[in-house]
Amino acid sequence: MMAATPAAATPAAATPAAAPPATGAIGVPLARIEAREKVTGAARYAYEHQPDEVAYATAVPATIARGRISALDAAAAMEVPGVLAVLWHATAPRLQPVADGELAVLQSGRVAYRGQFVALVVAETLEAAREAERLVAIGYEPEEHDSLLREDHPGLYAPETVNPSFPAATSDGDVEAGLRAAAVAIDKTYRTPALHNNAMEPHATVALWDGDDLTCWDSNQGAPAHRATLAQVFGLDPARVRVISPHVGGGFGSKGSPRPQLVLAALAARVVARPVKLAVTRRQMWAVTGYRTPTIQRLRLGADAEGRLTAIAHDVVEQTSTVREFAEQTAVATRMMYAAPNRSTSHRLVALDVPTPSWMRAPGECPGMFALESAVDELAIAAGIDPIELRVRNEPEVDPHSGHRFSSRGLIACLREGAERFGWAGRDPAPGVRREGCRLVGTGVAASTYPVYRRGAQAFARAEPGGGFTVGVGAADIGTGARTALTQIAADALGAGVDEVRVELGDSALPRAPVAGGSAGTASWGTAVVKACRALRERLDGEHGGVVPPDGLRADADSEQDVADQEPMARHAFGAQFAEVKVDLDTGETEVSRLLGVFGVGRIVNPRTARSQLVGGMTMGMGMALLEESVLDPQFGDYVNHDLAGYHVACNADVRDIQAHWIDEEDPHLNPMGSKGIGEIGIVGTAAAIANAVHHATGIRVRELPIRLDDLLWAEAADGS
């Protein structure tokens, strides 16, 4: 039975200038609080901190994909003027074991993948360190390696869980019976390549010891979590460790967990007894900072004559490393997206001689929804039903997997609003019939979704004796505008102007907070901030009669119990992506002439920064569809295009017309702000919408990303297979 479109789902303007009037600070298109600092260079990033007598370190990567280090000769390197130390597993201090094997740097002679850090040079200048690095002679005992993912790999196994803790496999009903009973069915395989995060600011750390107290300026997505791991690695009380990261130049998930350079910088600083700087080079980022696993996804869909799904099966093959298991949750979104009586999902992994995959913007949902939404488009064509209408007919009343009711579900509203804005009505569904000169033109649609998370956090709010308020929370602003949004949230809760509020974040000395990840930052930090600010307001208005004591007045809050007390519900953001493409008949070049997204993401805290996040995600999704690919050379077990000359990302010239809009969506079951995360949903579904548009333009169905020129230069594509 089809759910009705929510009455509250009316279109809202997407541009800051047209934002509806707000009664408080939330909803105002406020410019970024730190904007002037960033454009003038006053904002200091991790590597820019300059303690006295700082030394410089460079990491030496392994040149084999598997084996052992048999010897290391550092004599020539040590003769370079200014070199202080050369460390490797035979000379480095011992570290405490932690769950993440990637952090056991210089603890063993084993080489698990090409590019793994196996030595470190420390010198008085960066130039000396780089020169000495080239003189370190390493002997290896190489072993046969295996780095190629394939669906018939004998080492495939089913993990217990997939990121973060979902069951790896699910089954409801009888999928095989549902497929046999279907009037129309498809069985297709989709592939996505390895993709690498490439934040503008590379991973970097400045480490400083003062006795047994460790301070690190580090580029990361969560200072408190990084402090906890550092304390474990070095066997310290967490109170003796401080991690500071007030400004971070992007992360996309790659800075969500500690990386080897953090541990190496601290290790080197202890050995040479002076501060040490270490930055990962752009090329080294392909090995030691995480990436999106390649996937092989089989989708089987069956539907009755009216297009209602009778069965959904989504089976995924992906890779991990031999160092640490990471299983991406690629099929999880399929479990709740559409109604069907018979459903199954599975994930299988193989541990290869490759770096460990990790989080990359919308892990799981991004590649998984490419496959699902491409398959839904193929099913709609096979059934002769408009792809929007097919999705509407399969709208569930409750979460098909958990059975929980949705806190809100704006998918149909987004599809309807997007169709109107995009001009979907009257679209000729026949592929390959619309031309503009020498180019074929096509349009496509796909749905987006991302779960709504909220994690426990702590915060304080303080009324200053000289006027104004200070709010502290161990959050991270990785370029998303978190500092600005939290200022608005605090001002709203305090009943104050945004110019009266100063937010402190990016420091593990501040109250504990979760990482900026899972599109959960604003919801998690904001809940604690609201609690602290309201408590402070009550104290000011109550026992203190509005008078601030000479030393100020502070209130603290912890939202852990608020999260624990949430009613079990299915909480998700939804969206609809529309794409128009033009494919050159002679060259196969694909231009995305229009991208339009409409999203149901609860209450918008800041329309200006929200639009920036949504447009950024959509642009990244376009890069995934047409440009991005980490190309593996199986002979060496290495990615050969490990720089921004060979690894292509979308830029201004690639984005002709891109628009992000949202519907009015009121959801009282989320957090005090009524907001949903927006950092990741923009990328979800974009690649599928573009691939679907390419099929509509050419009749060629591309099921492996990125879409290449040669994919579209076939002599004939009559059946689109």
Residues belonging to the active site: 680
CB 326 within 8 A of CB 361: no
CB 639 within 8 A of CB 194: yes
Q: Which region, left, alpha or beta, applies to residue 685 given φ > 0 means left and ψ of -120 to 50 means alpha? A: left
- Helices 365-383 and 686-698 cross at an angle (nearest 10°) of 30
Neighbours of 221 (CB within 10 A): 26
Q: DSSP for 334-360? A: HHHHS--SSEEEEEEEEEESSPPP---
Question: 668: closest CA among 567, 580, 553, 577?
Answer: 567
Element of type H or E holding 517: none
Structure tokens at 323: 């160092």
CB 206 within 8 A of CB 217: yes
Q: CA-to-CA distance for 173 and 181, rounded, in angstroms?
A: 13
Query: Look-up: residue for tokens 């601290």?
Result: 266
Edge to edge, what strands does the sheet with 469-472 contain?
A: 501-504, 469-472, 458-463, 553-558
Q: CA-to-CA distance for 652 and 646, rounded, in angstroms?
A: 18
Q: How many CA atoms lie within 13 A of 326 on its CB side?
A: 24
CB 217 within 8 A of CB 245: yes
Question: 170: closest CA among 450, 399, 447, 392?
Answer: 399
Q: CA-to-CA distance for 483 and 32, rounded, in angstroms?
A: 8
Query: How wide is the angle at C-alpha 48 spanned by C-alphas 679 and 84, nearest 5°?
Result: 125
Q: CA-to-CA distance for 704 and 541, rounded, in angstroms?
A: 61
Q: CA-to-CA distance for 579 and 425, rounded, in angstroms?
A: 14
Backbone angles phi, psi at 349, to 5 degrees: -120, 155
Structure tokens at 610: 């929200």
Q: Please state, in angstroms and as integers, the Cα–Cα distance from residue 409 to each residue in 145, 308, 413, 659, following that order.
A: 47, 19, 9, 22
Structure tokens at 646: 């060979």
